[in-house]
Chain A
């Protein structure tokens, strides 16, 4: 039956049908739903790993043992997994190994816009790029076949618009696929003598894949009726088909390595061929390197952000689109905010009050602490960087600068732990604030080793972060309640002055998480007592706003009570009943 399926869910469906046995990931938008959807299939072992490097290593193990495996991540996660990736390219696989990587042109929820194709080329592995949900299912299967046929890991590259779009698919049945494990240290133990041999293999494999690309059915030509020609892949193909339905298009299903003869032959038929690709001029540069010069690419198409049909049309025809309705004034921007009741709010409110400290931030909901009204964050680079950067700043200032690192529980496990070990080992004087909301908040409540649950919701060993930090050698490890604003201000001030690496774990579960039940006692403002000083607005709580006077929207209030704590006039009260 035909149905609508999200691109990521279609990847999951493809894995199910392709007989995948092991699926691993660390959550990251726009890739998260692949693994969430796979977790619903009982036939597949599935897990959240602490980070992408570990996730890939787990998948490599499964593949070598002879079971098809997939590892999913977002583009920045591939940097974390780059170490095993570059070597699994040498060992190759036994059963198929697919690495699904979702790039995020437009940075809807990412800290950079990197292009996975560059890493894939450097690691010398093939890349498939689907353009809709049906292709997500099909390309997963083709990916596993290529992986096994050529003894290589295969990258399935998605972009946000494919990962997060729903389109029509037909589902098929599952096929069980099992390969036998055979010990083979020449292939799987990459010490120099063996690795040298395998490098020769990798180079030959790339040449073979290039030949194969010429006959691969997913590299195809749409014949046109107009004298305009394109080369594209993925979502850019869809934009072209909408903007120029009559054009010639060479659609590449495999974007690395390239079918060189096919491309040369196609380009020779036209005066000019447009290469349309979001982000880097990957196809353009590699096609130019073949000595093809009648192509037009980034000199007219942008290097940043997402494309659209009208953007392509505008760039080619050099004309503006007629927009019938326009607002000629600056509208109030609507940045994302910490949710009502969010425990992070209490910590950032306190941190915003501290003078002369540098706060190194990290990746998660709490990155929002950088924005108004808190303005309580100085940096945010990548997962786990807060701790290492705090250590770096402290030492660069000969320990004169007070530094606080803020990091979430999931992120701490992802790659904060090693930063703490480094800081302790090298005698740092920093405060690490672990904002433990008992989940991976930003990506939508995924579990991790310290939540005590697996991806399937089964109970698991619960890693105790306080005990762990003590073992790592931190001088003080304290647990604090993020809602106790006044108390925490004093506590944090004191902790900053204690020598050594101090850890404060601010623990309170995410208010949106279904696992936790909260006693909700909604607040209201007593207009007799309220002096309209607007102090409560500094919490940046979406439930508190102002018309002439401040008021609390009871539909939004979750009754965390932080506003009551900071009101100097006792004007914020608890609703009865």
Chain B
């Protein structure tokens, strides 16, 4: 029996949430899981809060990861990490970046951007914070944040690295394969905090 994987990928519309899930789902399928992925489209694409669910098990029914059921939440933005935290299972792991995108409600002064680290510590969540800001500027393209995070996350699954790379090649437009592979490799080497 393969270990059941319930994964939430959360972030802001436009961060490459769906591609991340597609590549990951593809890899999980190749190693023999039944896989379901559920995505969000439409209004939320325009800079709203977005979530994608990736589920893998011997047999998957619901494509949704239910509340308090995720073993992993992978956040592409700090505030979004907090917003979806109720979905994390007891002893699940939250992976989030040192990356803030203030929502308009913060920009216009209606709300404050919260102290994410402090709140996470208070509620006692197991976390890995990934320092990607500098890496992204070194790559010169913030659009590969998703593959960078995938590289980092891939270390938590005992799946051969080459399968991920193959899936990136199959799912990314030709002209972007090289930079995405580079981002993946960089991500795989990051030390988290």
Contacts and interface: CB of A to CB of B under 8 A. Distances in A.
Contacts of B130: none
Contact of B108 (A310, A321, A365, A373): A373
A555 interface: yes
A238 B42 contact: no
Interface stretch (A83-91, A325-333, A498-506): A325-333
A326 B86 contact: yes
**What is the size category of the interface that chain A forms with chain B?**
35 or more
Interface in A16-42: 29-30, 32
Interface string B108-139: 11111110000100011100000000000000
A524 interface: no
A109 B44 CA distance: 8
Contact of B22 (A132, A161, A166, A242): A166
A337 B14 CA distance: 12
A62 interface: no
B39 interface: yes
Interface in A405-445: 442-444
B67 A332 contact: no
Give the secondary structure class of A's interface.
loop
Contacts of B14: 339
A329 B118 CA distance: 13
A4 interface: yes
A555 B142 contact: yes
Contacts of B88: 324-325
Nearest to A241: B61
A161 B53 CA distance: 11
Nearest to B44: A336
Contacts of A166: 22, 25, 35-39, 63
Given A308-B62, A309-B62, A325-B88, A334 B105 contact: yes
A322 B88 CA distance: 11
B3 to A, nearest CB: 17
B113 A337 contact: no
Interface in B38-68: 38-49, 60-64, 66-68
B105 A332 contact: yes
B82 interface: yes
Q: Considering residues B12, B42, B47, B80, which has the most beta carbons from chain A within 10 angstroms of its beta carbon?
A: B42
Contact of B67 (A323, A327, A331): A323
18 contacts: A2-B29, A4-B29, A108-B41, A109-B41, A235-B62, A310-B67, A325-B124, A326-B86, A327-B119, A327-B123, A339-B14, A339-B46, A365-B46, A372-B110, A537-B107, A537-B109, A540-B108, A542-B101
